[in-house]
Amino acid sequence: MAPMVLAYIVSIAVALGLCGLLVQVTGGSATKVLSAMLDGSIRDAGAWGLTISTATPLLIVAIGTIVQGKAGMSNIGQEGQFLIGAGGAAFVATRMNAPGFVIITTSLLVGAVAAGIWALLPAIFKFTRKVPEVMSTLLMLFIADQLAQYALTKRWFLASRSTDSRVNNGETLKAGAHMPTFEVFGNAISWSAVIAIVLTIAVGLMLARTTTGFRIRMLGLNERTARRAGVSAALIGGGALVFSGVAAGLAGGIYLTSDIGPGRFTAGISSNLGWQGLLVALLARQRAALAIPMAFVFAALRTGSGYLAATGVDRQIADVVQAMLVLALLVPPAIQAYQEQRRGGAA
Amino acid sequence: MIAAGGAIWDVLTTDSTYSSTMRFSTLLALAAIGEWIAERAGTMNISVEGMILTGAFTAALGSHWTGNVWLGLLLGILGGLGVASIQANMAHRFGTNQFVVGLTLNVLAIGLTAFLDAQISPQVTATGTLGIPILKDIPLIGTALFDQSWIQYFLYPLIPLAWWAMYRTRWGLELRCVGENPQAGDVTGIDVNKRRRQSVYVCGMFAGLAGAYLTLGQTGTFGADGVSGRGFLALAAVIFGGWALKGAIGGALLFGAFQAAGSVFQALGYKANPQLLLSMPYVMALATMLVLATRSRKPAALARPFVRGLA
């Protein structure tokens, strides 16, 4: 175990070192970048509250991704499911007249259900027509994109009803339709962070301790055995796929109603949160508990990159760091597996 | 009904329909050939998007540094190959999940090209157009096919060449074999993962060429927006084409037409729903998979990693 931990440390150090080198070579200062990122994500007043609020949608997407990954499914359309969830939530939130609590709950539910239905289609395609879910979820992501664009051209759908502006934007959310926050040491933290943590614990327990969780894991480890043991691949696997869609949709709704989002539906509202949530799940290596710190790290890179303008280094460096981190965590197990394969012959 | 028919007739008889279609289709077709080769050998190569993007950027870099279009083109191909070498070795040497690697590479390519573009802002020398005498005067399609950047002309010989390599050489047979039945290939002495790595390298070079075409032959500047999603569109074209080369090329032409159609309809004074047009390729690729599922023309071992001894 110890050499493995060392391998991870070395690999992450190399990845971060390469990113630093990249900044230096292109005329920036790596230490300034690091310092600005830390200011933006943790050190400045209210910064870590912002980072936690940003981590929330990432964590929720990741939790759903972990469940379907455990079941052996490969949904990669979270970005689209997120968009559908945000759109569904916006449709309700901008139309309802009710106390804020009721609006928020209803719109989050509607968004989650809409995304769940969106993810149900690939599940149906897979179990009736054997269409690989990895392709169908990917293709549906782009259809979701166009659907969102279309929705923003129609007033009866999601386009803003109050202005005559030509820019296709969604109706701005009412003040009461925003997720409330609570304050910890001057950091405003969204209540959705609590939802995310509770969801993570619930899913972790469900996977580890319940019959359903056992069935999900069995299906992912060996489909044939699972079928013999009476696990319905369509029900459990499809259910896991739908659950990941629901989670991504919930994340979309939460981002829409949060104070860190644009405050209205836009075509670009998902802003890679779906993809990044998927990466968080990959980094956490399908462990729910690990997803929490990973989501925080990714969120810190997001919030920290907002502070980079002053250093003269382009904020896209945050994307590079994220991808390099994922690659770095893929390398040690890959090399280990390769060595075992060479040594043992048969895997 | 008659009005719609008239609109379509007008669009079909306009030169610019075909030239704007080719502006999209050339890139898609180049990338689709590469993706087709990779998929026939068993890799669902979703990092083709990152390969095109990287190729587009390194081509801009090459042009910026040397001022020479040929060197730009070469560097574009090498850029695609660079991404491919990570994809190929991680997935088919170290046994990492190919989608995980592909996804990560796409994120890396988006971040890295945007970052470097902002830091360096390369100046690109574009190719301009090169008209082929006589052929370019063919009505309707002459301009689209024979009065374009010379990079587009690479596409024409590459299509039969790819077909010949896949169906008439031993190497191609082995590639198709490791995509259909890697266990059988392994028994006959083919190094399965080596062939798969090679197929990804080839895909990377095609995608890099597609990216270089975009930068050097078309826009004359590097722009990530020009790529966004085209790699996935090329992937959809391969699926839509039922994993046959002519199908993939047909898909690329059709999807290019969908991308061009919106602006052509508008230019002629007709209304068309752009979102519907732009989502059609993905809907059609999905529909193809739903219909073809039972006929199963998909390479049998597509996206299945090969580990010796595991059936």
The predicted-structure confidence for A271-304, as pLDDT tens digits, reads as follows: 889 999 998 998 888 889 999 999 999 999 988 8
Cross-chain CB nearest to A322 (options B107, B114, B279): B107
Chain A hits for B96, Cβ within 8 Å:
330, 333-334
Handedness of CA A50, A53, A55, A61 (dihedral sign): negative
Q: Return the number of CB contacts < 8 Å for A and B.
A: 140
Tokens 């539906």, located at residue: A265
B296: left (phi over 0), alpha (psi -120 to 50) or beta: left
Q: For residue A265, which of A151, A106, A100, A138 has the smallest C-alpha distance?
A: A151
Measured CA to CA, the distance from residue B96 to residue A337 in angstroms comes to 9
Evaluate whether A277 touches A14 at the Cβ level (below 8 Å). Answer: no
Evaluate whether A246 touches A119 at the Cβ level (below 8 Å). Answer: yes
Phi, psi of A44 (to 5 degrees): -65, 160
Whether A124 contacts chain B with CB within 8 A = no
Evaluate whether A119 touches A257 at the Cβ level (below 8 Å). Answer: no
Whether A12 contacts chain B with CB within 8 A = no
Mutation test of the interface with chain B: which of A23, A118, A137, A138, choosing the one with the most B Cβ atoms within 10 A?
A138
Burial state string for A284-312 with b = 16 or more CB within 10 A and e = fewer than 16: bebbbebbbebbbbbbbbbbbbebbeebe
Chain A hits for B273, Cβ within 8 Å:
150
Chain A hits for B100, Cβ within 8 Å:
282, 326, 330
Question: Six-digit token pair at B247?
Answer: 């199908």
Handedness of CA A97, A103, A107, A109 (dihedral sign): negative
CA distance B185 to chain A (A): 17
Measured CA to CA, the distance from residue B214 to residue B256 in angstroms comes to 14
Q: What pLDDT score does A347 carry?
A: 43
Q: Is the ipTM of this complex over 0.90?
A: no
- How many angstroms separate the most distant Cα atoms in chain B? 62
Mutation test of the interface with chain A: which of B120, B273, B275, choosing the one with the most A Cβ atoms within 10 A?
B275
Q: What is the DSSP letter of A76?
A: -
Chain B hits for A68, Cβ within 8 Å:
none
Q: What pLDDT band is residue B310 in, cutting at 50, 70 and 90? A: low
Q: What is the pLDDT of residues A309-344, one digit of tens each?
A: 778 788 888 889 989 988 998 888 888 888 887 776
Q: Which residue of B has its CA nearest to A145?
A: B279
Whether residues B115 and A320 touch (CB distance < 8 A) is answered with yes
Q: Which residue of B has its CA nearest to A285?
A: B100
Q: What pLDDT score does A176 carry?
A: 79
* Global confidence as pTM: 0.90
Residue type for position B145: L
Return the SS3 of A215: helix
Among A241-245, B13-17, B66-70, B76-80, the range scoring the smallest mean pLDDT is B13-17
Quick one: B109 exposed, middle or buried, by C-beta within 10 A (0-12, 13-18, 19+)?
Answer: buried
Whether residues B279 and A26 touch (CB distance < 8 A) is answered with no
Whether A139 contacts chain B with CB within 8 A = yes
Q: Which residue of B has its CA nearest to A144?
A: B279
Q: Which residues pair with A159 in a beta bridge?
A: A170
The residue ranking higher by pLDDT, A223 or A109, is A109
Question: Six-digit token pair at B240?
Answer: 């839509």
Q: What is the pLDDT of residues A20-38, one digit of tens each?
A: 999 988 888 888 888 888 8
Chain A hits for B290, Cβ within 8 Å:
125, 129, 131
Q: What is the mean pLDDT of chain A?
A: 89
Residue type for position A322: Q
Evaluate whether A239 touches A213 at the Cβ level (below 8 Å). Answer: no
Question: Six-digit token pair at A188?
Answer: 């405003």
Q: What pLDDT score does B293 carry?
A: 62
pLDDT > 80? residue B205: yes
Whether residues B310 and A347 touch (CB distance < 8 A) is answered with yes
Whether residues B275 and A146 touch (CB distance < 8 A) is answered with yes
Question: Six-digit token pair at A108?
Answer: 């989050």
CA distance B167 to chain A (A): 26
Q: What is the pLDDT of residues B147-181, one digit of tens each?
A: 888 889 999 999 999 999 999 999 999 999 999 99
Whether residues B290 and A125 touch (CB distance < 8 A) is answered with yes
pLDDT > 80? residue A126: yes
Q: What is the pLDDT of residues B86-144, one digit of tens each?
A: 999 999 998 888 988 998 999 899 999 999 998 888 888 888 788 888 888 888 888 88
